[in-house]
Amino acid sequence: MTSRLAEQLALLPDYLGNHMVLTLTALALGIAISLPVGLMATRLRWLEWPVLTFAGVMQTVPALALLALMVPLLGRIGFTPALAGLILYSMFPVLRNTVTGVKGVDAAYVEAARAIGMTDRQLLWHVQLPLAAPVILAGIRIASVWVVGVATLSTPVGSPSLGNYIFSGLQTQNFTAVLVGVVAAAALAIVLDLLIRLIEIAISRRNRTLGLAATLGLALLALPALMPALAWSEGSSARPPVVIGAKTFTEQYILAELLKKRVRQGGYSVADLQSLGSTVVFDALKASRIDCYVDYSGTIWANHMKRQDHPGRQSVLRIMSDWLQERYGIVCIGSLGFENAYALAMRKDRAAALDVRTVGDLARHSRNLSVGGDYEFFIRPEWRALRENYRLNFSARRSFDSTLMYSAVQQGVVDVISAFTTDGRIPAFGLVLLRDDLEVLPPYDAVLLLSPKAASNPGLRQALEPLVGAISDEQMRRANMMVDVKRTSVRDAAEWLNTAVASKSR
C-alpha cells in the first residue's frame, strides 16, 4: 500500500504544478476581467443585466461541458481551452460581489464623498472600493475555491491537473490515486482561501504587515507553480520526450503504460497525457501534441470518417489507414491483434433461462427487458443500427458510467448492457456476449497510431512494431480484469501484458 502511495506521490509535482499554474492564471485573469467589468456595471446601469446574466449562464453550464466546449470553440486542446473555461467559470462570483459590494456602500458615504468634492474616480478609489472590499474579496474567495475544484476537469481536454489522479483512479479502481488527488486539491483550495482571507483581514484591520505577508504567500504559491514551466524551458534543448496519450478507461491506461515501456526500451524518454476525452485525444494526435496512442478502427470509421457501412474487418483497417495518412499524415502502425467492440451482454443464467444466444434471439424478448449503456452508447450509430436491424424494442433504457454498467447488469438493475468485448468484468461477473449474427456492428480493432511528427521517426516505429498482432482478445481481457476486478495496479497489469507479449513473440 505504501509503495502504491509512493508511486502516486511521485506524480504529484507534475500534476500539482500544472494544476497551480492553471488555477492561478485563471484566477488572475478572471479577476482582471471581472473586477473592472463589475465596476463598470455599477456605473453603466444598462450593462449590469447582460453582464451578470452572461456570467450566471456560464456558471450554470456544467463545468465538464463548459471546458469540453472550449475545445471546438477555440480549435485547440490543452492549456488554452482549460484556461478559457476556468476564466468563464470564475467570473460570476467576482462580478456579482463587485456589483453587490459597490452598490451596498451606504448612500450617506457616497453623498458625503460627492459633497466634499470628490470626482467619480476619487469616489471609487477612496470610498467605494475600500468599503466594498470585504464583499469583493468574499467573491474572489468563492471563485478561487471553485476554480481549484473545477480545474480537475481540465484533464479530459488535455491539460494535466490533479484531475488525472481522479479520472484514472476512478476508472482503474485505484483509490489511493483518487485520494491523493482529492486531498491535494482540497489542500490547495484551503491554502488559497486562507491567503485571500488573510488579505481580507489585513484590509479590514488596515494591517500592512499582514497584507504583505499574505501577498508574499500568494507569490510563493505562484512560484512553484512556475517551476515546471521553467524546468521545461531549461530542458527544451534536449530531445523532447515521446508523449503517449490515453483516453479515460482502464484498457487505455494499461496500453499507455505498455507503450511507454516499449518506447523507453527503444532509448527514448517518455511522458504521458492521459485521461483525454475521446475526440480530444485524436485532435491531440493530429496536432502532434501527443506522439502515439491506441484507438479503435470502428471509432475512427464512424466518428471521424462518418461512415456507416462496413466492408469487413480487414477492409475497414486498410481504408482507415489510408484515410488517416492522406488526410492528416497520421500513421497507423497496425492492429494490436485484439478487438474491443461494442456487444450486447447478459447474465449467463438469464440468457440461458430465456434461451438467448444471439442478438436475434434477444429481439423476441426485448419488449420485457431493460437495457443499459455507457453515456454515449444510445446516441451512437451502433445503437441505431442494432435497434433497426434487429427490431429491438426494450421496455426501459438507462445510461451508466462505463465502470458501473457491469455491476448494474450483474445485480439485475438492467437485463442487457452494451459491453466492451475486452472488459475483464465479462468473465468475472458471469456475463455472456450475444453474437451479432447479422454483423451489424463495425469492427473495433485496436490500432497503434503515430502523430505526423512522430511518423518521421523510424526508431520510434521500430520500438512499437513488435506489438502489432501481439495481443489477443483473451490477454487484453485478462489484463483489464487484473485492474478492474482484482485491483492490481495499472503498472503491474501492463508488466504482465508486456511479459505475455514478449513470450509469445519469442
Partner 1 sequence: MDEFDDVDKTWLSTSSIVPPLPVGARKMIRLEDVSKVFGETVRAVDRVSFTVERGELMVLVGESGSGKTTTLKMINRLIEPTGGRVFVAGRETRLQDPVLLRRNVGYVFQKIGLFPHMTVARNVGIVLALDGSRNQSSVSRRVDEVLELVGLDPILYRDRYPKELSGGQQQRVGVARALAAKPAVVLMDEPFGALDAITRSRLQKEYLRLHKSLGLTTLMVTHDLTEAFLLGDRVAVMKDGRLLQLDSPAQLVRFPADAYVESLLETTLSQLTRLEAIAAKLRTS
Q: What's the CA gap between 197 and 388, in Å, rounded?
A: 60
Does 109 help bind partner 1 (rule: CB under 8 A)?
Answer: yes
Residue of the chain from 29, 64, 131, 186 that contacts partner 1 (CB under 8 A): 131
Does 138 help bind partner 1 (rule: CB under 8 A)?
Answer: no
Does 130 help bind partner 1 (rule: CB under 8 A)?
Answer: yes
Does 408 help bind partner 1 (rule: CB under 8 A)?
Answer: no
Lookup result for grid cell 498482432:
469
Site string for partner 1, 79-108 (x = CB under 8 A): -----------------------------x
**In the bound complex, what is the minimum distance in angstroms from residue 135's beta carbon to partner 1?**
13
Burial of residue 390, with CB atoms counted within 10 A of its CB: 0-12 exposed, 13-18 middle, 19 or more buried: buried
Q: Which is nearer to partner 1, 11 or 102 (CB)?
A: 102
Does 391 help bind partner 1 (rule: CB under 8 A)?
Answer: no
Q: What's the CA gap between 144 and 189, in Å, rounded?
A: 7
Please state, in angstroms and as integers, the Cα–Cα distance from residue 286 to each residue in 7, 133, 290, 458, following that order: 31, 47, 8, 18
Q: What's the CA gap between 24 and 45, in Å, rounded?
A: 31
Does 44 help bind partner 1 (rule: CB under 8 A)?
Answer: no
Q: Which is nearer to partner 1, 117 or 458 (CB)?
A: 117
Q: What's the CA gap between 285 and 235, in Å, rounded?
A: 23
Residue of the chain from 62, 116, 306, 458 that contacts partner 1 (CB under 8 A): 116
- Strand 342-347 to strand 431-433: parallel, antiparallel, or no bridges (unpaired)? antiparallel
Sign, CA dihedral 299-393-373-482, equals negative
Q: Which is nearer to partner 1, 130 or 427 (CB)?
A: 130
Does 353 help bind partner 1 (rule: CB under 8 A)?
Answer: no
Q: What letters, b where the CB count within 10 A reaches 16 and e where it falls short, cover 488-502?
A: bbbbebbbbbbebbe
Give the three-class secondary structure for 243: strand
Residue of the chain from 4, 103, 114, 478 that contacts partner 1 (CB under 8 A): 114
Q: What's the CA gap between 292 and 462, in Å, rounded?
A: 13
CA torsion, points 75, 153, 69, 144, in degrees to nearest 10?
A: -100
Does 1 help bind partner 1 (rule: CB under 8 A)?
Answer: no
**In the bound complex, what is the minimum distance in angstroms from residue 238's beta carbon to partner 1?**
54
Q: Which residues pair with 294 in a beta bridge?
A: 448
Does 458 help bind partner 1 (rule: CB under 8 A)?
Answer: no
Q: Which of 109-117, 270-278, 377-385, 432-440 is the region at the interface with partner 1 (rule: CB under 8 A)?
A: 109-117
**In the bound complex, what is the minimum distance in angstroms from residue 134's beta carbon to partner 1?**
10
Residue 443: DSSP 8-state: P
Does 122 help bind partner 1 (rule: CB under 8 A)?
Answer: yes
Q: Which of 84-92, 111-119, 311-319, 415-423 is the region at the interface with partner 1 (rule: CB under 8 A)?
A: 111-119
What are the residues binding partner 1 (CB under 8 A)?
108-109, 111-119, 122, 126-127, 130-131, 206
